[in-house]
Structure 1
Amino acid sequence: MVQSPRQRRPHGSVFAGRTRPRGARRIIGLVVGWLLVLIGLAALVLPGPGLLALVAGLAVLAQQYEWARRWLQPVKQRAFAAAAQGVRTRSAIALSFTGALVLVLLGLLWGVNPPVPGWWPLDGRWWLPGGWSVGTSLILSGLLAAAFIVYSIRRFRPQMDA
């Protein structure tokens, strides 16, 4: 059976219409891609844009692996559907921005690390552990969430007739 030029993959061949990266670019791409996939998977259950990070990671890995190209499209569709759903109504937009603001404020609280309040039932070492390292990640998550909300509004929200 004769294969088309897209199906043949000898060394340095064309992959999905592009030349496969080699050497340091390939290694950096793999590290960045897998890191984004791991962050995306973690952010599905933690605060942060999980599906968007997962899409970004799969997009980077799709340059190296055919399985990543196959997985990219359904994950991308799901992420865009969630983004469109999140900006469908004004109340959803307000709730999303409120969540982003809460993340930023929690990050500031975590970084400032006020004294342990009297109502805190646990030992004092369990009050806001991590300091600015945790606070900074919360602030960055809130700012990223706000940026993605603005992007979603611009991309998916129907424009009002003037």
Structure 2
Amino acid sequence: MRDDAAQLFERARLRLAAAPREALGEIAEPSGLRRVLGVGPRIVRAGSAWRVGSLLIGDDVVHEAGEVLRATDPGRRGYAAESARRRAELRAMALRGGFAEGETVHLGWWPLDLAGLAAGEPTGPLSWQDGRVMIRWTPAGALMPLSAYLDERVGLLLAPPPGA
């Protein structure tokens, strides 16, 4: 018997119903008068999802997570690394886009093709092995059954260990 990924994600959504979601954001470049006035790019809200490990589960779509940041004022302007400067710029872009100070924002996420997966094609970190949907939860990590991964990660989200 083969796993049904759609059913696995639907069961996860039912368990997650009362859990808080996190924002999905997209970079919006200024256009028209905003560009002429020198207004910079911003990150705008593109929905919300539950972060379940390396997956972002929305109402009717599942995304592979990308970059995560918190919307904050960048503060000081001197940075030792270009990557730190870029992260500060992204955090400030999220504030300009209307996210609350400290709000978690996900960027660079992409939808997984669950229809393709049902037809046997891999999508993002999901693939098939011996009739089971498997997930590679880190780029260098081993495969594990999606059902076990969702059970564990949803359980941790709903009842985090003390001190987490």
The TM-score bracket by the shorter chain reads under 0.3
Greater relative contact order structure (CA < 8 Å, 6+ sep): 2
Structure having the higher strand fraction is: 2
**Per residue, is there more helix in 1 or in 2?**
1
TM-score (norm 2): 0.25
